[in-house]
Structure formats: structure tokens, C-alpha cells
Amino acid sequence: MTMEEEADLAEVMELTPEMKAAVGKPGEPTLYEVTSLGIRTFARAVGYKNPVYFDDDAAKAKGFPAIQAPPGYLGMPVWNPNKTTARQASFESPFKRNLNGGTAVEPLERVFAGDVLEAVTTLTSLEIVPSAAFGQMMIRVSETVYTRKSDRKVVAKTRGTGLSY
Amino acid sequence: MPAAQTWDSVSEGQEFETVEASDSQRLVIWAAASGDFYQIHYDDNFAKNNKLPDIIVHGALKGMWVGKLLDEIAGDDGWVKQWDVSYRGMDIAREDVTIFGKITKKYEQGGEHLVDLEVGVRRKDGSVSTPGTGTVRLKK
């Protein structure tokens, strides 16, 4: 961190009105595609062996329309370099570095290859706390609700904790 | 890999474990699967230039290893109701880690046969980098 950044950081002792306004405000809906390639790559990386996550015939033998996504796999956001989506209400942050602080997953429905999910993320809490390692740290907690476009069922909810310092 | 469990067969205090490798190839596959391309997870020079001893395992991959353990316990007839993990420390790549789960409560609720578990990622030295909890519905 540069001296200028440290000086900026030293001035921020509490949340700004802009930061407070971001809490509770849902971001724009983001589309996530669940593809067979995406499911297989996820399942391979995590180390699954269950054929319903790889093999169309095994999935269909279970009565599924296509291979199933393992719990926690909710597709990938549709990548378009010419269009940006504000997945979360944003604000200017003096903290430059980020860490993943935690993950919570609540699977509610089976998800299959071919599904398209609409994700809406809401910043649910935000605080700046003292940190022995970094002086100050910002803790953001966000919740995301994933809804399948075809039947409007909520298929999963996740919560993520981000640490910025 | 633990076998799928039934609610009648399990008891409070029962433990499950799997060992996961974290070689660089696996982390690259995870990067493709998750879209997390931060170089501290696969570029040795980048990691060392950021004061890390080596590339480190993605937090989210550790979280999904816990999800896999719970899914294997649930089997095709059960369901992972939820899990929640905190990334309290880094895990250096190329070192095996143990994913563990221990049943802390066995109960019925709303017609479902459930178990709560203490879960996490344990390093070779016995420390837990990623503690958490989970709930699984089991076939009776």
C-alpha cells in the first residue's frame, strides 16, 4: 500500500452516507448460464464422481432432463465485454485489497444443464472494524437469490462475506 | 469418499473425512469452473511477488469441497439443505488437506430426517483453516 493510500485509509473511520445507502439495495439482475460444460468442469475441479453430474444417460435414468449441477454450482454469468451489469449497489471504497471471508449455500431445487438463472444480489451488511493486521477492515455481507427463468422457482440462495483492507 | 448414509444408520458424533489434493492443475481447472482468475492461485511468480510463500488454494474451492462431502453423505436420495464456511486462513497449494464432517445433531423436523454437522478443512498440522456447519436431509 502506498503512503497516499494509507493516508486515505486513515481518514475513513466510519461508513460514509454513500456506503450506508448501498446496504439493502438490490443490484441489477444478472443472468447465469448453466451449461453441461460448466457443470462437468465444476464437478471435475471439485472431484465429484457421481455420474449424474457427468453422464447424460445416468441423469436421464434418474428421470432428469439433463445432467444435474452439484450443490453450489449455479452457472456462470453471461460474459459480454460490451455490457456491464451492476451486480451490487456500488460505492467508492478506500480499501484496495479484497479477501474472500466465507460462503454459505442453501440449495432449494435441482439445477440442470440448460437452465438459465437470474441472480439478484443485495448487500445486507457493511461495517468497518479495527484489524490487528491491517489497522482497519471493511466487512461486506451479500446475499444472492437465484431464480430459474423458465419456471420462476428460486433454486438457491447464497451468502458471501468479503473482507477489504 | 464416504458412502451415502441413511438417517437410521448414523449417530451423533459420527465422523466423515476425505482427502483432497491441491496441485496447480486442479486450481487451474477450478479457475475455469468458477471464473476466479486471480493469479495468486496459479502464477508462482505473481504469488511470491505478493509476499505469499507459494500459490494458495481458492477459498471457494475449499467451500465446495465441503459441499461435496455433504453431498456424498446425502447420496442421491438425500439433500444438502445448507452449509456455511468461514475462510480463516490460507491453504498453500500442493499440500493435501482433509475435508471433515462430524454429526452434532440428529433430529426430525417438518417431516424431514435431518443431521447437523460441524464441517471444515484441516491442514496436515491439524489446524482448521475453514470451519463451518452444514445440514443434510437423509433417507430414513
Tell me what pLDDT residue B96 has.
96
Which residue of A lies nearest to B135 if distances are taken between CA atoms?
Answer: A106
Taking the model in full, what pTM does it have?
0.92
Chain B residue numbers with beta carbons less than 8 Å from the beta carbon of A44 are: 29, 33
Residue A36: closest CA among chain B residues belongs to which residue? B33
Instruction: Quote the minimal CA–CA distance from A156 to chain B in Å.
Output: 10
**What is residue A144's predicted lDDT score, i.e. its pLDDT?**
97
| Chain B residues whose beta carbon lies within 8 Å of the beta carbon of residue A105 | 63, 67, 80, 82-84
Chain B residues whose CB is inside 8 A of the A62 CB are 76
For chain A, residues with pLDDT lower than 50 are 3, 7
Are A97 and A156 contained in the same domain?
A: yes
Query: Which CATH number is associated with domain B7-137?
Result: 3.10.129.10
Same domain, A86 and A145: yes
Strands laid side by side in the B97-109 sheet: A76-77, A30-33, A116-131, A135-148, A154-164, A98-107, B79-86, B128-137, B112-122, B97-109, B15-20
Q: Does one domain contain both A44 and A62?
A: yes
Nearest CA in chain A to B62: A46
| A24 and A105 fall within a common domain | yes
Q: Which of residues 23-62 of B touch A (CB under 8 A)?
A: 26, 29-30, 32-35, 58-61
Size of interface A-B (CB pairs under 8 A): 89
Number of domains in chain A: 2
What are the residue ranges in chain B where pLDDT is below 70?
Answer: none
The residue of B26, B69, B82, B90 whose CB has the most chain A CBs within 10 angstroms, and thus the best one to mutate to test that interface, is B82
Q: At B118, which helix (H) or strand (E)?
A: strand B112-122
Smallest CA–CA separation between A93 and chain B, in Å? 20
Q: Are residues A103 and A152 in the same domain?
A: yes
Q: Output the pLDDT for position B56.
A: 95
Q: Would you call B1 an interface residue with chain A, using a CB distance cutoff of 8 Å?
A: yes
Minimal C-alpha gap between B33 and chain A (Å): 5
Residues 6+ apart with CB under 8 A from A42: A69, A70, A73, B33, B34, B64
Own/partner long-range contacts of B25-29 (Cβ < 8 Å, ≥24 apart)? B26/A45, B27/B55, B27/B57, B27/B58, B27/B61, B27/B93, B29/A41, B29/A44, B29/A45
Element (H, E) at A103: strand A98-107
Residues of A with CB under 8 A from a CB of B: 38, 41-42, 44-50, 52, 62, 70-73, 76-77, 99-107, 159, 161
C-alpha cell at A125: 451488511
Same domain? For A10 and A43 the reply is no
Q: How many residues does chain A have?
A: 165
Query: Do A144 and A65 share a structural domain?
Result: no
Q: Which domain holds residue A50?
A: 35-73
Residue A99: what pLDDT?
A: 86
Contact A159 B84 (CB under 8 A): yes
Q: If you search the block for the grid coordinates 483432497, which residue do you land on?
A: B20
Q: Which of A117, A18, A121 is nearest to A75 (CA)?
A: A117
- Residue to mutate among B30, B38, B64, with most A CBs inside 10 A, is B64
Question: Is the same domain home to A157 and A138?
Answer: yes
CATH number of domain containing A11: 3.10.129
